[in-house]
Structure 1
Amino acid sequence: MLRLLHIDSSARSGHSDEQVHGSHTRRLSTRFVRRWQARRPQDAVMYRDVAAQPPTPVSSAWVHAAFTSPVQREPWMDQVLSQSDHLVDELIDADLIVIGVPMYNFGMPSTLKAWIDNIVRVGRTFGFDRSRTGEPYWPLLAGQGKRMVLLSSRGDYGYEPGERLGASNHVEAGVTVPLRYIGIDRVDRVAIEYDEFNDGRLHASVTAAEAEVDALVDQLVVEMASCKAALSQI
């Protein structure tokens, strides 16, 4: 059995194929998961909507608690970290992380950034030892076969590397850099563009993105099942 962690972060609550002002990213992430479940109904899916239930942003107390050794933490520190611990546990349990992430002002929604800040945890998802020879930081989730899929949407167009607005796209890098830091470095991406134009180019982009999602599911079902089987033999 494979385990999926499905995360939505759009402030729009509906799907763009069901509501006029619905979310493109929720549309794509739901399509991905439904197709996956049709191919592999035995797999478990955990769902988290960080827009509807935003994680608590990191605070001074959070930082103090996170960087205190577990054996030295006071009860209030465990309480401060309890939500973060739950989010980290979900991530550790997942084989595939599917994230719907729209572009807001060239970056990700603040609620998804809060999720990232809660799951990048010293001693849980990355290690740190200032006396270690060479790099003092290392990922704790590497070598586990984890994959990530980013399903995005953009109001304008040309945000791919080398295109007219490629340098202004801080969505994919904003998610992939911290997740790679903790050991999740295999990432696939699909995006819808032209949302603000709402013309034939948007419709063509949606159609192309849906086809990419379908093909990606079919590809990953095979690749991840093989990877899981290989890891189980180690």
Structure 2
Amino acid sequence: MKLLHIDSSILGDNSASRQLSRSVVQAWQAAEPDSKVTYRDLASDAISHFSAATLVAAGTPEELRDAAQRHEAQLSADTLQEFLDADAVVIAAPMYNFTVPTQLKAWIDRIAIAGKTFRYTEAGPEGLCGGKKVVIVSTSGGLHAGQPTGVGHEEFLKVFLGFIGITDIEIVRAHGLGYGDDVRSKAMSDAQVQISEQLFAAA
């Protein structure tokens, strides 16, 4: 199995989402020892944001692209192929200002490609990535799950993944991390229990 591990927190070693996503990957490898992991750190190796340059590069014949356009087109192609090749994806998604980090949104913009991950039909949009499993590691300082303030975070990710055909989604959640040491400790502990005892219980 090919597993793609995505981190997006800007907090480095202090990141709760990085700690938990690493635990998810380790648990996955323990459950499926033959797994091959590809890692992408969107904070330390940021993908440039979707822009006019992205569209121009994509629309320019390969032999006519300048160096910047070749780089832009290759970045899009590599990011997309890495995702398409994965059987499963672990997405670490901290909440920043009621939504996902812009670094993670930049990655999403590179894989949301008509004809590759979705298509439009007479019956409406059709996702082309069914069969993949995704684990979302959701962290936040406040308590947002099931609230209007969470719509741009977990709900956004579920809507996007559903749009490209992915319905096998698990969420590992550690919220309330800004509510003091006791609440943070319990949230992280509960998430670790979910990872170690529940996430791959049937594996």
* TM-score, with structure 1 as normaliser: 0.78
Matched, 1:140 2:121: no
Could you list the runs of 4 or more consecutive aligned residues of structure 1 that deviate by over 4 angstroms after TM superposition? Answer: none
Percent identical residues:
32
Question: What is the Cα deviation at residue 80 of structure 1?
Answer: 2.8
Using the TM superposition, give the Cα deviation of residue 35 of structure 1 relative to its aligned residue in structure 2, in angstroms: 1.7
Distance 1:173 1:75, change over 3 A: farther
* Corresponding residue for residue 9 of structure 1: 8
Q: Tell me the distance in 2 between the aligned counterparts of 1:28 and 1:148.
A: 14
Equivalent residue number for residue 198 of structure 1: 180
CA distance in 1: counterparts of 2:132 and 2:159, whole angstroms: 15
Partner of 2:20: 28
Name the residue aligned to 2:79: 87
1:42 equivalent among 34, 37, 41: 34
Shift of 1:64: 4.2
- Provide the residue aligned with 2:101 in structure 1: 109
> 1:146, 1:78 → 2: CA distance?
30
Q: Aligned letter for 2:51?
A: S
Q: Which amino acid aligns with 2:162?
A: R
Max radius of gyration: which structure? 1
**1:165-188 per-position Cα deviation (integer Å, ceiling 9, x unaligned):** x11012112222222212222211
Unmatched tracts of structure 2, length 5 or more: none
Q: Deviations over 1:72-125 (max 9, x none)?
A: 666426543211111111111111100111111111100000000011012222
Coordinate RMSD, CA, aligned: 2.0
Question: Partners in 2 of 1:188 and 1:125 — Cα distance?
Answer: 20
1:30-77 C-alpha deviation (Å, 9 max, x unpaired)? 1111122223221100000001111111111323454x4x9x666426
CA 1:214/1:75 → structure 2, altered by over 3 Å: closer, same or farther?
A: farther
The yes-or-no answer on 1:207 pairing with 2:189 is: yes
> Per the alignment, in what secondary structure is the counterpart of residue 199 of structure 2?
helix
1:155 aligns with 2:141: yes
Alpha-carbon distance in structure 2 between the residues aligned to 1:61 and 1:125 = 21
One-letter amino acid of the counterpart of residue 127, structure 2: P
Q: 1:216 to 1:63 in 2, by over 3 A?
A: farther
Cα-to-partner distance string for 1:108-143 (whole Å, 9 max, x where unaligned):
100000000011012222224xxx5332x322223x
Query: Structure 1 78/181 Cα, relative in aligned 2: closer, same or farther at 3 Å?
Result: farther
Alpha-carbon distance in structure 2 between the residues aligned to 1:134 and 1:38: 42
Q: TM-score by structure 2 length? A: 0.89
